[in-house]
Structure 1
Amino acid sequence: MYVVIVYDVSVERVNKVKKFLRQHLHWVQNSVFEGEVTRAEFERIKSTLREIIDEDEDSVVIYRLRSRPMRETLGIEKNPLEDII
């Protein structure tokens, strides 16, 4: 499945969340990651994020898609996605 994860977390945890997500997904721009993951990877990502964040203060939104979405960027591409064959 293809996921897009956006987050708004306290400054004390932002680097930990970013570092963790970089291990699994492609960084798109500040607080936004996306990529293809297996069901097991998806569950592991959710579980670890729950351990990192404070659910009373932080917010993580996960969009699950069946396939890679069509993307169009206006302005600067912060970190271009490249197709790997």
Structure 2
Amino acid sequence: MFLILVYDVGEKRVGKVLKICRKYLNWVQNSVFEGEISDANFKKLKFELKKAIVEEEDSVIFYILRTTKYSERQIMGIKKGGDDIFI
């Protein structure tokens, strides 16, 4: 599956969440990651994030695409993150 992850977490937890996300996905820009991920690794990612965040204060959103066949990525302004291609 292809996953886009965005997060908004407390300042004290940003580094930890960033490190967890980089293990599984590609960094796109501030608080945004994307990439192919297996079901097993998606479960691991969610488990690690659940331990790292405070659910009453933080937010993590997963956009799950079963296929990228009909997806398109357009960038306006400065390109951040790696050179990985969305599709």
Tell me the residue number matched to 2:83.
81
Kindly report which structure 2 residues correspond to 1:3-82, keeping only aligned pairs within 5 A, or say none. Answer: 3-68=3-68, 69-82=71-84
CA shift at 1:79, angstroms?
Answer: 1.6
Distance of 1:67 and 1:74 partners within structure 2: 24
Give the C-alpha shift of residue 20 in structure 1.
1.0
**Alignment RMSD (CA, Å):** 1.1
1:82, CA displacement in angstroms? 2.7
Identity, % of aligned pairs?
47
Tell me which moved more, 64-73 or 51-60.
64-73
- Structure 2 contact 26–82 (Cα < 8 Å) conserved: no
TM norm structure 1? 0.91
Query: What is the deviation of 1:81?
Result: 3.2
Q: Number of residues paired by the alignment?
A: 83
Instruction: Tell me the distance in 2 between the aligned counterparts of 1:57 and 1:75.
Output: 31
Give me the TM-score of the superposition, normalised by structure 2.
0.89
Structure 1 residues 70 and 80, CA gap change in structure 2 (3 angstroms): farther
